[in-house]
Structure 1
Amino acid sequence: MEVTASARAAEVVTEMGALRSGTLTVTIGTGCCESTAPFLYEDFYPGADQEPVGEVAGVVIYAPAYLRRLYPGAQGPRLEVVEDMGDSLSVETELGVRLALRGTGLDSVTDPEVCAVPEGGDATGSGRTGAPIRSARPIAARAVTGRPPPGLEGLRLR
């Protein structure tokens, strides 16, 4: 796995390096709610399962084994910047931006349709308008099998 970074991501990491006195690292796959989101931390110990998979502005990018297996060799996503705020412990949020991973070969600016989230939709893979959703694999309806645990039987979910 090899993670690359955009010029904007390098600018943000460089700016945070000037604002922080500790050692910066980028780690992927450590978030509780965003399990593959990149996090820029100061003085963070990446842990035994994490290995370097790239660098941005001299800062090492780490990823755990389960993610590294998904991208053999030099394959990997690109570290980008989202000019929006979100809840995060990642230090670049002090600048009002957020690091994000994007697949290589996709550009949400020049080809927004590829990255658009369709409204509605059904098991056939078409949205409300009937236009097909662009997907690498077809969406197939599957029957639910088995029974819920006794304590959940009869529970109504909305």
Structure 2
Amino acid sequence: MTAGRSRARCVARAALLGAFVCATAACGSSKSAESTEPNEPMSTWEEPASYSYTLTSSTQVLAGTFRVKVRNGKAAEVVGLDEDSRRQAQDLPGDVPTIGELLKTLNRARSEDADTAEADYAADGHPLRISLDWDKNSIDDEALYTISSYEPTPG
């Protein structure tokens, strides 16, 4: 009779442990719920071939405010509007992204389960603000992009 009770207790403990593990796993998987905030719909905006916009960026690589002219889907002219951005626009003009490239980065962050991958959109669907943090426990991987003065231009 002792062996029967011991086995029953072992099975009960295993079932309880299994339920605990399942519950813990369910709690830990809330990251996908976090990435679907109310302001998180995928943008239906289609990037035009030509437009201009102002980008304010605070990242480890790209910091400052830039006036960007996009032609044929590529950043054709980049003007720094402050001391840091003037230097970067001169030294690294190819590092200033188009809005389409920013959206690709946002989508990649979402697909790779970044801790933060959020955007706010204008009425026409183009992003106004993109906030990224790949790993909340890492330093210097955060990025904040603010998009203003967006104007489509004739090709």
TM-score bracket for this pair, using the shorter chain length = under 0.3
- Structure with the larger helix share: 2
- Structure with the larger strand share: 2
TM-score (norm 2): 0.23
Q: Which has the higher contact order (CA 8 A, sep 6+)?
A: 2
